Structure 1
Amino acid sequence: MPLPPKIKGCLSLVSDEQGYLKEGAPITDSTPYEVRRAQELNAQLGPKGTPEAVDLLCDLHNTTANMGMCLIFYSFDWIALHIYNYIQSKMTSAPVTAIQMDISETYSLESVGKHGIAIEVGPQPHGVTRADIFNLMKEAVDLTIECLQKLNSGKKHVLVFCEDTVLPRKHVKAICNCYCTLPTGSTFEGGKVEAYTLVKSVDYPRDPTTNNITAAIHPQLQDNDFKLLKPGDPIFLSFSGETVKHEGEELYPVFVNECAYYEKKIAFHLAKKVTVTFPSVSVKKVD
């Protein structure tokens, strides 16, 4: 199914967790493949931060953590929230959650587009194909394209906000300068959605001399992403049998025991649940 032509987009299986999209030295014969490929993608889909960048870029990820179907974005912008709400309302095969990564400067692939979303699905071990995980990802991609097609249906119109918008003025100005293609009088209803914002990351207990990990994720925490973690709840079980308990405020663990985070010294993230209001959008015909 081709992407709608009016809101340009890109669906990609390539990630950039190492930050290779940063501008760096010129490409040479000794340049690592990841750096070379990242700069090729930036040239093809961007350049990042320019008017030529694609309107929407969707980056597809699998995770070893029990995240289910999770959307990740770096700002609560109107396109991301409408797509999230659409997928959440249509998908019945799994719960759909969303996390906002509050990072001032990002280098992930989806950040190359004017708008970007990462879709994380798990748990799936590396090197293993699981039909259920594949089908979840396919359903999310199909619903994303379906949502974009609805936004792009009809003739060109100016996109405007309904009066009850609560977005900052700078976002209102940006969106009113955009073009959408809903039929005259059509409205995408706004509303409220629950999402999560990151608070902090937690590392594994380590030997102070060797810096080696000395404990594993506690069985009561393992596979319990998005379940409220209270003070005193077990989070680690040391290799000598001691339990390490959570201290501090009640928060939600995410990306618990993610394989790719070992090298980053992250056992899991802690997040808080928030309610986000997103605006209705309607259109009026351009004379």
Structure 2
Amino acid sequence: MDPVSLPALSCVALCGGTHGNELSGVCLVREQQRKKEEETEHVTLVTVMSNPRAVQECRRYIEKDLNRCFTAAILSTPVSDRTPYEIVRAQELNALLGPKGSDGAMDLVCDLHNTTANMGLCLISNSDCDWICMHIYKHLQTNISSIPVRLLNLYTSPDESSNLASVGKHGLSIEIGPQPHGLVRADVLSTMKKGVQLMLEWIRLFNSGTVFEGGEVEVHTVVKCIDFPRDPETHDITAVIHPQLQDQDFCLLRQGDPLFLSFSGETEVYRGGAPLSSLCE
């Protein structure tokens, strides 16, 4: 492969509390903010509490999921007294960290999340050709052995990308689980700290002129979403993840494997044809 030269990442944003009940990122950003804005060799790190009202109430969001509010259409929506809080906040964050798609946007926006899924440490990117995110992923995967490290690509265009990370020139989310919403697990928080430290370590190496070897990495993509079985009238769920599938995230799900267990004790199996990796959220 021919060498590729890319601009330095001089300004990086670290965001937590985009979902107010995912507390590892909230704790990490608060700790970082106590140190104030950090300027170290080769990189300026800006920390942001993305949704302070949701964090205060320990809720995912107040009126609308903030991490679905960063499309070009929503960011250009005129604001009025009736505009949902998260849309107003998204426009504030876009002004602070962007504007999205502009030369003035942050070089990298990293957004911190938790999940109840047993997915280990998962980096989420909007593109499979963002070499910065790919190399950061490879660096984390090489240096973290305590839990699985994976990359999930969403493959969305910049205008249609709705997540906060898409505001930066480069963007990625770090999502770690399992962790119950509204709580903090020491091991999950420790892993998130290590992931952020390794990301910043790679950026400092990159900015100092280090040459990184190319290679292959395994990337997961979203193929389909399977909703829980629901009552046709009330739309309430009528089953849970089958015990044999629970916590087996990213394991291969084959035709006929148990998928759901109904409240009445009946097993629903996977009938999707081709085997797929599962992610239970």
**TM-score per shorter chain, which class?**
0.7 to 0.9
- The 5-angstrom pairing of residues 45-60 of structure 1 reads 45-60=97-112
Q: Which amino acid in the other structure matches residue 116 of structure 2?
A: T
Match of 1:207 among 196, 210, 231: 231
Give me the whole-angstrom Cα distance separating, in 2, the residues matched to 1:107 and 1:28: 21
On the 8 A contact 1:121/1:133 being kept in 2, the answer is: yes
Two-structure CA RMSD over aligned residues (Å): 1.6
Aligned to 1:17, the other structure's residue is in SS state: helix
Give me the whole-angstrom Cα distance separating, in 1, the residues matched to 2:77 and 2:145: 47
Partner in structure 2 of residue 189 of structure 1: 213
Partner in structure 2 of residue 19 of structure 1: 69
On the 8 A contact 2:9/2:203 being kept in 1, the answer is: no
User: What whole-Å deviation, never above 9, does each CA across 1:225-264 have from its counterpart, x for those lacking one?
Assistant: 011111100000111111000011100011x1x2xxxxxx
Q: TM-score, normalised by structure 1?
A: 0.73
Partner in structure 1 of residue 277 of structure 2: 252
> Are 1:79 and 2:132 counterparts?
yes
Give me the whole-angstrom Cα distance separating, in 1, the residues matched to 2:89 and 2:75: 13
Would you tell me which structure has more strand in proportion to its own residues? 1
Match of 1:107 among 151, 162, 186: 162
Cα drift, residue 89 of structure 1: 0.6
Would you tell me which structure has more helix in proportion to its own residues? 2
- The 5-angstrom pairing of residues 1-287 of structure 1 reads 6-15=9-18, 16-19=66-69, 22-76=74-128, 77-104=130-157, 105-153=160-208, 182=209, 186-247=210-271, 248-254=273-279, 256=280, 258=281
Segments of 5+ residues of structure 1 without an aligned counterpart are 154-181, 259-287
On the 8 A contact 1:12/1:59 being kept in 2, the answer is: yes
Structure 1 segments (4+ residues) deviating >3 Å:
24-32
Cα drift, residue 215 of structure 1: 1.0
Segments of 5+ residues of structure 2 without an aligned counterpart are 1-7, 19-65
Partner in structure 1 of residue 39 of structure 2: none
Cα drift, residue 30 of structure 1: 4.0
Partner in structure 2 of residue 166 of structure 1: none
Between Structure 1 and Structure 2, whose CA radius of gyration is higher? 1
Same amino acid, percent of matched pairs: 53
Q: Which amino acid in the other structure matches residue 134 of structure 1?
A: L
On the 8 A contact 1:62/1:124 being kept in 2, the answer is: yes
Partner in structure 1 of residue 44 of structure 2: none
Q: Which amino acid in the other structure matches residue 216 of structure 2?
A: K
On the 8 A contact 1:14/1:109 being kept in 2, the answer is: no
On the 8 A contact 1:70/1:97 being kept in 2, the answer is: yes
Aligned to 1:146, the other structure's residue is in SS state: helix
